[in-house]
Structure 1
Amino acid sequence: MTLHAAPPDLLAAADVSRDEALDVIRTALHGADDGELFLERTESESLLFDDGRLKSAAYDSGEGFGLRVVSGETAGYAHANEISLQALRRAADGAGLAKQGRSGVQAEAPRATNQKLYDEVDPLAAPSFSDKIALLQEIDAYARGKDPRVVQVSAAIAGERRQVEILRADGRHVRDARPLVRLNVSVTVERDGRRESAGAGAGGRAGFETWIAPDRWRAQVDEALRQATTNLDAVDCPAGEMDVVLGPGWPGVLLHEAIGHGFEGDFHRKGSSAFTGMMGKRVAAPGVTVVDDGSIAGRRGSLNVDDEGTPTSRTVLIEDGIMVGLMHDRLSARQLDQRATGNGRRQSYAHLPMPRMTNTFMEGGDASLADMIASTRRGLYAVNFGGGQVDIVSGKFVFQCTEAYLIEDGRITAPVKGATLIGDGATALQGVEMIGDDFAFDPGIGVCGKAGQGVPVGIGQPSLKIRGLTVGGTAV
């Protein structure tokens, strides 16, 4: 682990005193309901080794700020890619125009916290650039040496260190240094003229040392190779309504997309969620408990504080099938008379915060995967997913399976290709029949998009058996 001294205060580094910044913020927020100054500096590095050579290497750095003024339901926002007193004053003039819509309800400041979910490690500092290239070469050679059918290998590593600071008119100054790393491997295999590709990856909020240890990267290569070679034997997937068994871990992406966004506070404030008006009512089968928790140490979606300065926390959304909670930023919490849950997130200083998921997962049960398979006469065992589409208002979803198998008379049989799952989140939750005892998080590769903003997230679930989902297929 490579730690380094905490970087200087972003205001001080820009030769702006805290008193000068506070004077600007207090002037901008005078007469407003809420708001803050969000400062950010980011450094990132990525390397891609493809088809036996280093294909790209990139380093980026940048800094800037965003000043938000909230009055009622109106938010004025101004940002700049330089931190200076002149830029702050210009931003205050622009964002302050929102004050004409003031509600008169002054927002409480975020509560304080001492939680520390990750170290102030610098992923760009170690290993060295040459060692990273050597690692990628070693990954390439290992994958090609594992199986003679491998015809192409891609390996990539990416690291980021993001320093954020939040300054409020009451003088509270919150700082968070956020590391993030990721390793990805993709392999293509060929047999008798047929090619199949698959990928695997892992990452989290730590230094590279955690994720590039030989046992870790070899596990990713082995997993990508396993999926690719399995798909060489895949047959066309039949279509129709059938029971579906989902594997643990990454298949939680279906949960994330199909229902997760529907529990974000802004959609309820606007009345546009499929779950609007369902608080306290049954929205899922008994036994289904769904949680969003940004306070799990080291996880990709975790944060010490969100991008408004609120400490992250464990928020139960569904408990034993009953809807009990929502994810809130400060704006949706105030407008719905709730407490901010630490889910106010933004892609960068150039974006307004909004309610977003952190690590969203379904808790485990007591059923075994073997019993789920054995109890299924005709169905689909879906182990890995690719892309999908979801409509937040209706909850309808379509997901592509990248690894799936037929279940016939209680046994897993042939792998299939071209399988998609079609349905809606509420119906799928009601159709959960068995909840596995094998809960797992995803390996740490998720990115969630909403309103043009992407943020790192975590997902998880145990194996699940869901009755009567529509499966789209390619079999004639």
Structure 2
Amino acid sequence: MLKIVKNKILYKNNISTNDIFSILSDISEKKIHYSDIYFQSKMNESWILENKIIKNGFYNFNKGIGLRAIYKEMTGFAYTDQINILGLQKICKSVKNILNKKKIYNNKKFIKNNNKSFYGFKNPLYSLSNKKKINILNQVNFFSRNYDSRISKVTACLSGSYEYILIASTDGILSADIRPLVSLRISVLSENKGKREIGTSSGGIRGTYKYFLKINKNGISNLRSLSEEAARISILNLSSKEAPSGSFPVILGPGCPGVLLHEAVGHGLEGDFNRKKLSVYSNKINTKIASNLCTVIDDGTKKNFRGSISIDDEGTPGKYNILIKKGILKKYLQDKFNASLTNTISTGNARRESYAYLPIPRMTNTYMLSGNSTFKEMIESVEYGIYAVNFTGGQVDITSGEFVFSTSEAYLIKKGKIVYPIKNVTLIGSGLSVMNKISMVGNDLLINNGSSICVKDGQEIPVCVGQPTIKIDNLTIGGTK
């Protein structure tokens, strides 16, 4: 893979590894502890269906170089959208002007890292003809509308990207990655007697568009499954009742509700927040922060998952990290910068949206491991409460861990049975409190390989979330009944 990327990014643009070494050596004339160069070449496309027609087709090609130098807590950074020697020299000069003089670090050679790929090298944009890509969207429209006559509008977006990256740094790293990615997002509107409801679904993979044409375990194509799921939620909510308000036991379903874990817990475990002591989890390593039923993982090594990374954006291989083990906080998610300032090591979680941004600690595929309880046992344990299956979104305060989340699919539980669907359910609480109120964890872990996007400091990156079914003994519900 390293050879492929060097040919694509370096040699094609008349840049050699000696040129890179020369630039890093030049930067090292200044007072630094670390410097790296990030090369990126990325192509992406999107196809949008609305009102039964293809409304838009978009293609973009983006490439550039980002150069960073670090001394203690000071960072010099510059970037260019030109991959050539002149572009490199220009951003090198810009970064040097930011830094103080005094040469204290200079590496002599690169350690070439031929890392393992967790998703292969096929370019999704070339995996199907444009006609077949458009046909995927037309099938989405057909399957969604065919689900129920009350479906009045279908919107869908099919997108794909193919990215080459190469990283060279003063700690000797010379590493590369090839990253394919596809996603399909569907929104369905249903109408009945003046009442309108929306249902959504999404799917994605680090692979090609052929993923959506594959037959799944239910004997239908993935794109049909996603289409009917969006339609199902929309139709379900036409008959849903208003949600109650108060404090009740809450059962969170497997898969998608893991977004609450991602937002209310995962972000609070990122190294930059904890170095600055801005997180509710700061200074809590080896401290009990959750129920002993909870083991939380961030895993960048899962094959073909959206959040997976063969290497992070500093060249560190993707890793399987145990963040919380049986309720005990074990580690924070680190990049090289924050790890160096806290006397720890990188966990392989440095991520950036593109060459024009600095890498920061971010999640990959974050999920809770399965427990021993069955779904039936968990529902039967609730006298009166809520079963939340899918979320539409929410807000989280990283400092306090407090959150507000809204559901797109939820049900009322009475006397140990699911009785009817409810809408306008808002979950209110704090990550630290909720994690300690988990009294049952299901044996049905599901990682939602949808099209999740994580936003932090203005940067968007692909991630995955997941969990088994869990029971929270008590949570505040904001309803409209």
Q: Is the 8 A contact 2:36 2:170 kept in 1?
A: yes
1:407 matched residue in structure 2: 413
Query: 1:250 deviation in Å?
Result: 0.7
| Structure-1 separation of matches of 2:77 and 2:439 | 47
In structure 1, the residue matched to 2:365 is 359
Query: Which residue of structure 2 lines up, in the alignment, with residue 181 of structure 1?
Result: 182
Letter in 2 for 1:74: M
Q: Sort the Cα spacing of 1:373 and 1:58 in 2 relative to 1 into closer, same or farther, 3 A.
A: same
Conserved 8 A contact 1:265-1:329: yes
* SS state at 1:186 partner: strand
Deviation at 1:8? Answer: 2.9
Partner of 1:68: 68
Task: Give TM-score scaled by structure 1 length.
Answer: 0.95
Q: Secondary structure at the match of 1:100?
A: coil
Q: Which amino acid aligns with 1:26?
A: S
In structure 2, C-alpha distance between the alignment counterparts of 1:253 and 1:170, rounded to whole Å: 35
Instruction: Classify 1:208/1:223 alpha carbon distance in 2 versus 1 (closer, same or farther; 3 Å).
Output: same
Structure 1 residue 113: Cα displacement: 5.7
The 2-side partners of 1:110 and 1:240 are apart by 59
Q: Are the counterparts in 2 of residues 164 and 176 from structure 1 also a CA contact under 8 Å? A: yes
Q: Give, in whole Å, the separation in 2 of the partners of 1:101 and 1:291.
A: 42
Contact conserved, 2:5 with 2:177, CA < 8 A, in 1?
Answer: no
SS in 2 for 1:124: helix
Secondary structure in 2 matching 1:310: coil
- Give the secondary structure class of the aligned counterpart of 2:100: helix
Report the number of matched residues: 471
Closer, same or farther in 2 for the Cα pair 1:127/1:341, shift >3 Å?
same
Q: How does 1:380-395 map to 2 (within 5 A)?
A: 380-395=386-401
Amino acid at match of 2:78: A
Conserved 8 A contact 2:186-2:227: yes
Post-superposition offset of 1:192? 1.6
Map Cα deviations across residues 42-82 of structure 1 (whole Å, 9 max, x no partner). Answer: 10011011111011110000100100001101111000111
Distance (whole Å) between structure 1 residues aligned to residue 297 and residue 393 of structure 2: 23
How far did 1:190 drift? 1.4
1:103, distance to aligned residue in structure 2 (A): 12
The alignment's C-alpha RMSD in Å is 2.0
Q: Which residue of 1 aligns with 2:423?
A: 417
Does the 8 Å contact 1:346/1:353 carry over to 2? yes
Moved over 6 A (4+): 101-111
Structure 2 counterparts to residues 47-196 of structure 1, below 5 A: 47-100=47-100, 112=113, 114-169=115-170, 172-196=173-197
Q: Which residue of 2 aligns with 1:15?
A: 14
Quote the offset at 1:29 in angstroms.
2.9
Partner residue in 1 for 2:298: 292
Q: What CA distance in whole angstroms lies between the structure 1 residues aligned with 2:415 and 2:387?
A: 13
Displacement of 1:6: 6.5
Match of 2:312 in 1: 306
| Partner AA of 1:55 in structure 2 | K
Aligned-residue offset at 1:18 = 2.5
Q: CA deviation at 1:370?
A: 1.1
Deviation at 1:104, TM superposition (A): 6.9
Whether the aligned pair in 2 keeps the contact of 1:37 and 1:68 (CA below 8 Å) is yes
Matched, 1:253 2:259: yes
Change (3 A) 1:110 1:354: farther
For residues 218 and 7 of structure 1, do their structure 2 counterparts lie closer, same or farther at Cα, with a shift above 3 Å needed? farther
User: Which secondary structure state, in structure 2, belongs to the residue aligned with residue 88 of structure 1?
Assistant: helix
| Corresponding position: 1:378 with 2:384 | yes
- How many angstroms apart in 2 are the aligned matches of 1:163 and 1:461? 31
The answer on whether the counterparts of 1:112 and 1:311 sit within 8 Å (CA) in structure 2 is: no
1:95, CA displacement in angstroms? 1.6
1:316 touches 1:325 (CA, 8 Å); kept in 2?
yes
Inter-partner Cα distance in structure 1 for 2:18 and 2:112: 22
- State the alpha-carbon separation in 2 of the partners of residues 118 and 343 from structure 1: 18
- Residue 23 of structure 2 is matched in structure 1 by 24
Structure 2 residue runs without a partner (length 5+)? 215-219
Q: What is the Cα deviation at residue 286 of structure 1?
A: 1.0
Give the residue type in structure 1 aligned to 2:382. Answer: T
Deviation at residue 101 of structure 1 after TM alignment: 9.6
C-alpha deviation, 1:109, in angstroms: 8.9
Q: Match of 2:289?
A: 283
Structure 1 residue 9 displacement after superposition: 3.1
CA distance 1:315–1:113, shift in 2 (3 Å): farther
- The answer on 1:349 being equivalent to 2:355 is yes
Q: Does 1:430 align with 2:436?
A: yes
1:222-241 equivalences in 2 (<5 Å): 222-241=228-247
- Counterpart code for 1:174: S
Q: Offset of 1:97 from its aligned partner?
A: 4.0
Q: Name the % identity.
A: 36
With structure 2 as the length reference, what TM-score do the two structures score? 0.94
